[in-house]
C-alpha cells in the first residue's frame, strides 16, 4: 500500500501543535486515524474537527509513559480498522531549564515521555508490523539533537536518544518495515516554553514568535515520508525555519 489514503495511522500527542497539524493533514488525505493524548477535551476537539471535514478519526486517552496505554492505542487501530500502517510517535514536553534549577521532575518527565514513551510505542506496534509484514514508525525528534544549546541539555539528550533509537530500529527492521526520524526546528506551537523555567520560557516564546515555522511544515514532512511507495524508506528529515542557526 502506498500513498496516504486508506492507511491506518496512529499519532501520539495529537491534542495540539505538531500532532494536531499532522492528524489534520493526514485526515484530509484520507488516512484512518487513531489519535492519542491525555487531555480529553482537546483530543475530542481534534477528532471532531477531522470528522466534520469528512475524515475518519478516533480518540484514545493515552499517557505514553504507560505501556498499557500504547497497547490500547494500537489495539484500537486493529479493533476498528483491522490493521495499523503507521505509528507517529510525537508526544513530547519541552520543559527546559538550567541544571542549577534542579528541576528533576521535569528531567524525569522528558526522559519518560521521549524515551520510555517511544519504547512503549515500539513495543506495542512492532509485533503488529511483523505480523502484517509491513508498517512504518515515524518518530518526532528535534534539531536540539543536532545543535545543543543551554539550557536545553536534558531535552537535547532525550531527543538524541530518539535519533539513536530510530536509527537502531531502522537497521534491525529488515526489508518489510520503514523507520523515519522527522526532526523539527522552532515550530509555532503552545508547547514551546510550556513547563520551562520562567527565563527559559520567556526566551523560547520570544524566539518562537520571531522565527517559528507553522506546524503544517512538519505535518507535510511526515506526510511525505508516509506517502512514498512501499520499499522506499525516508530515513531522516530535518526541517528548520531558514533563520534558525
Ligand atoms: N515546537 C517546537 O519548536 C518543536 C521543535 C522540535 C521538536 N518538537 C517536538 O514536537 C513534538 C510535539 O510538540 P509540539 O511542539 O507540538 O508541542 P505541544 O503542542 O505541547 O504538543 C505536545 C503533545 O504531546 C502530548 N503529550 C505530552 N506528554 C504526553 C504524555 N505523557 N502522553 C501522551 N501525550 C503527551 C500533548 O498532549 P496532552 O497534554 O493532551 O497529553 C500534546 O498533544 C514533541 O515531541 C516536541 O519535543 C517541537
How many angstroms is it from 91 CA to the middle of ligand 1? 4
Given a cut of 70, is residue 1 above it in pLDDT? no
**48-82 confidence digits (pLDDT tens):** 999 999 999 999 999 999 999 999 999 999 999 99
**Residue 203 contacts by C-beta under 8 Å, 6 or more apart in sequence?**
none
**74-115 confidence digits (pLDDT tens):** 999 999 999 999 999 999 999 999 999 999 999 999 999 999
Residues catalogued as catalytic? 155
| Total Cβ atoms within 10 A of residue 210 | 10
pLDDT at 56: 98
Residues with CB under 6 A from ligand 1: 12-19, 37-39, 42, 62-65, 90-94, 113, 140, 142, 184, 186-187, 189-192, 194
How many angstroms is it from 43 CA to the middle of ligand 1? 13
Can you tell me which residue has the cell 500513498? 3
In order of start, what are the domains of the chain with their CATH numbers? Answer: 8-238 (3.40.50.720)
pLDDT at 31: 98
Candidate of 10, 23, 37 to mutate for ligand 1, largest count of ligand atoms within 8 Å of Cβ: 37
| Alpha-carbon span 85 to 94, nearest angstrom | 28
How many angstroms is it from 103 CA to the middle of ligand 1? 19
Preceding omega of 89 cis (within 30 degrees of 0):
no
R_g of the chain, CA atoms, integer Å: 17
| Alpha-carbon span 142 to 158, nearest angstrom | 10
Q: Residue 45 carries which DSSP code?
A: H
Amino acid at each position: 500500500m502506498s500513498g496516504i489514503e486508506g492507511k491506518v495511522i496512529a499519532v501520539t500527542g495529537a491534542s495540539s501543535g505538531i500532532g494536531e497539524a499532522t492528524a489534520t493533514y493526514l485526515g484530509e488525505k484520507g488516512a484512518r486515524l487513531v489519535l492519542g493524548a491525555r487531555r480529553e477535551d482537546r483530543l475530542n476537539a481534534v477528532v471532531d474537527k477531522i470528522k466534520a471535514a469528512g475524515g475518519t478519526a478516533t480518540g484514545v486517552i493515552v499517557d505514553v509513559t504507560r505501556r498499557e496505554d500504547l497497547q490500547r492505542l494500537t489495539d484500537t487501530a486493529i479493533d476498528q480498522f483491522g490493521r495499523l500502517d503507521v505509528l507517529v510517535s510525537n508526544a513530547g514536553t519541552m520543559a527546559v531549564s538550567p541544571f542549577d534549577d534542579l528541576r528533576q521532575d521535569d528531567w524525569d518527565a522528558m526522559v519518560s515521555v521521549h524515551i520510555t514513551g517511544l519504547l512503549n510505542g515500539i513495543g506495542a506496534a512492532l509485533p503488529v508490523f511483523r505480523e502484517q509484514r509491513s508498517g512504518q514508525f515515524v518518530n518526532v525528534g528535534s534539531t536540539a539533537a543536532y545543535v545543543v544549546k543551554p539550557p536545553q541539555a536534558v531535552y537535547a539528550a532525550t531527543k538524541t536518544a530518539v535519533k539513536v533509537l530510530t536509527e537502531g530500529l531502522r537497521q534491525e527492521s529488515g526489508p518489510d518495515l520503514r523507520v523515519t526520524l522527522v526532526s523539527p526546528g522552532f515550530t509555532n506551537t503552545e508547547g514551546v516554553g510550556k513547563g520551562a523555567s520562567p527565563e527559559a520560557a520567556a526566551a523560547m516564546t520570544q524566539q518562537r514568535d520571531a522565527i517559528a515555522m507553522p506546524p503544517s511544515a512538519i505535518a507535510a514532512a511526515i506526510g511525505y515520508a508516509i506517502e512514498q511507495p512501499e520499499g522506499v524508506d525516508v530515513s531522516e528529515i530535518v526541517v528548520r525555519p531558514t533563520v534558525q542557526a
